[in-house]
A and B are shown apart, each in its own frame.
Chain A
Amino acid sequence: MTVILSAEDIEAGYNSRPVIKGLTFSVRDGDVLAVIGPNGSGKTTLLKAVLGMIPLRRGRLSFSWKKGVDRERLIAYIPQRMEVDRTFPLSLKEMLGLSLPGAPVEKYIDMLELRGLLSERVGDLSGGQMQRALLAYAIIKEPQLLIMDEPTSWIDAKGADCVLCIMEEFRKKGIAMIIVSHDFSVIKAAATSVLGLGPEGYFFEPVDSPLIDEKLMSLFGTLHHNACITCKPEKGLG
């Protein structure tokens, strides 16, 4: 397996405040890296640093992309909660067409139950439909690295199952994924490794590591719910 992304001792933040410090991890093709941690631990900051949306203060990020291919084709990103201009006159079909010319739109619109909405103005879609539309926008180009920030937080259980199916299909195709999620059932079902961020530091472990529960307990020990992956093994596994 090829290492798609390698982070070495990276530090990033806003103004003079570092939010993430000294992180080292890697993502190979077909990997699903779950980034977890309490609110304010730097999960979204990490994604933005990986995406180049905020500069690194220290360390190095290296990507091994396919040579000569545009970054737009290689990377896809679904933000946690995207506020779109609902007055923007754009049909769902047009929005999906913005992803990449020639992207296989047909392949995923049935899976995400969007076919009947293609001529609708995106501003008229419900919150859940919009989240599925954004997911479709990101995945139809089948990128080399898919980054999702809480992809199941705004969709129903059926939609969440679809996300898991798509992640499994992508994993088999060798597409690398980084996913921020608070849903341990999603992590348990889909992740191959976990990057846990906390106030005392971080850990980077394979999801089947015997140490994973202990590390999660130390990370979320102060929380009385979602303390352990093994507490909720059956929910939403698709």
Chain B
Amino acid sequence: MEVLDYPFMRSALLMGLILGILFPLMGVFVVTRGMSFFSDFIAHAAILGGALAVIAGISPPLFLIPYSIVVGLSASMVWNSFPLSRDTVLGVFYGGAIAAGVILIAVKGLSQTYLMQFLLGDILLISPLDIWLSAGLLAVFLVFLKLNLRKIVKSSFLPEVSMAEGVSVRAYDYVLIGFIAAAIALSVKVVGVILANAMVVIPAAAAKTISRNFRQFMFIAPLVGILSFVSGTVASFYLNIPTGPAIVAAAFVCFLAALAIKGVSA
């Protein structure tokens, strides 16, 4: 295949395979715990994080992972500690992070190209470090799921009962927030700030629509994710269209297909 002749495309496809599994598996818990707006916030907060990384002269992925975790946990501590709902706190932080990021970009004279790369992603920017970090994160997340799946599902579906049984719903929230923040930070280069959240939510939403049980849910979501990342990346190569939007468009088609399947079987 011609697409595999180019090293940057091989990197993009490899990254897509990793994120195609990682994002939807996280998305399963994002959509069942009502955290979709949170992952969107983390993606947009990366505008500020990326600017800070460039100004500080630190490799963006290395900076963005701890930055996103700190920002995510800070926001969650605010909504857990003050009489403010989660979406209100995220709305406030969301606006603040974007405003600060754009101001910083303007003041420091970072180029519009830089901003556009952040907003929409650019697979040419994927480095071996990004791939290794993503693979490492996927491995750690799979181990975490293996050890904690029953309690995470329980705390998602029966939070009040879980608390009564001594299962810490908030602790699992914090751990998932950390994982989601790290994954979003790594994906910004591929799909961009605007669309990163879509790749967390859409495959999981498509799988949730047609799954009759959790086993199916956990299997179909990454399947949709891999299909979307690979087909979107290949389509962007042959059709000469931006990769991030092509991946998200492929995922959206999968979501529409899931709606159709559900509609037919209902």
Contact = CB atoms under 8 A, between A and B. Distances in A.
B179 interface: no
Contacts of B150: 97-98, 101
B209 to A, nearest CB: 9
Interface string A48-83: 000111000000000000000011100111110010
A94 B161 contact: no
A77 B154 CA distance: 13
B163 A51 contact: yes
Interface residues of B, number: 23
B212 A51 contact: no
B217 A89 contact: yes
Nearest to B218: A89
A82 B214 contact: no
A190 interface: no
Interface in A185-227: none
B32 A88 contact: yes
Interface string B128-172: 000000000000000000000010011011101101111100000
Given A53-B164, A75-B166, A77-B164, A98 B212 contact: no
A147 interface: yes
Contacts of A53: 160, 163-164
A78 B163 CA distance: 12
Contacts of B163: 51, 53
Given A53-B164, A75-B166, A89 B157 contact: no
Given A70-B166, A72-B167, A89 B161 contact: no
B166 A72 contact: yes
Contacts of A121: 212-213
A90 interface: yes
A84 B166 contact: no
B208 A90 contact: no
A36 to B, nearest CB: 21
A121 B157 CA distance: 13
Contact of B158 (A52, A98, A101): A98
Given A72-B166, A77-B164, A85 B213 contact: no
B165 A90 contact: no
A111 B216 CA distance: 29
Given A89-B212, A89-B216, A94-B213, A72 B165 contact: yes
B164 A87 contact: no
Contact of B214 (A70, A90, A134): A90
B129 to A, nearest CB: 36
Contacts of A6: none
A98 B157 contact: yes
B165 A89 contact: no
Interface in B11-31: none
A101 B148 CA distance: 12
A75 B165 contact: yes
Given A84-B157, A98-B158, A89 B164 contact: no
Given A71-B165, A71-B166, A77-B161, A98 B216 contact: no
A153 interface: no
Interface centre among A82, A88, A101, A119 (most CB of B within 10 A): A88
A237 B167 CA distance: 35
Interface string A133-152: 01001100000000100000
B30 to A, nearest CB: 13
A51 B164 contact: yes
A147 B164 CA distance: 10
Interface string B217-256: 1000000000000000000000000000000000000000
A94 B214 contact: yes
Interface string B196-214: 0000000000011001111
A91 interface: yes
Given A82-B158, A89-B214, 9 more contacts: A51-B164, A76-B165, A77-B160, A79-B161, A85-B32, A89-B208, A89-B213, A90-B153, A91-B214
Interface of A: 51-53, 70-72, 75-79, 82, 84-85, 87-91, 93-95, 97-98, 101, 119, 121, 134, 137-138, 147
A-B pairs with lowest CB-CB distance, top 10? A71-B166, A77-B164, A91-B213, A89-B211, A51-B164, A98-B154, A72-B165, A89-B217, A90-B214, A94-B214
Interface of B: 32, 150, 153-154, 156-158, 160-161, 163-167, 207-208, 211-217
16 contacts: A52-B164, A53-B160, A71-B166, A77-B164, A84-B157, A85-B157, A88-B32, A88-B156, A89-B212, A89-B217, A90-B213, A91-B213, A91-B214, A98-B158, A119-B213, A137-B158
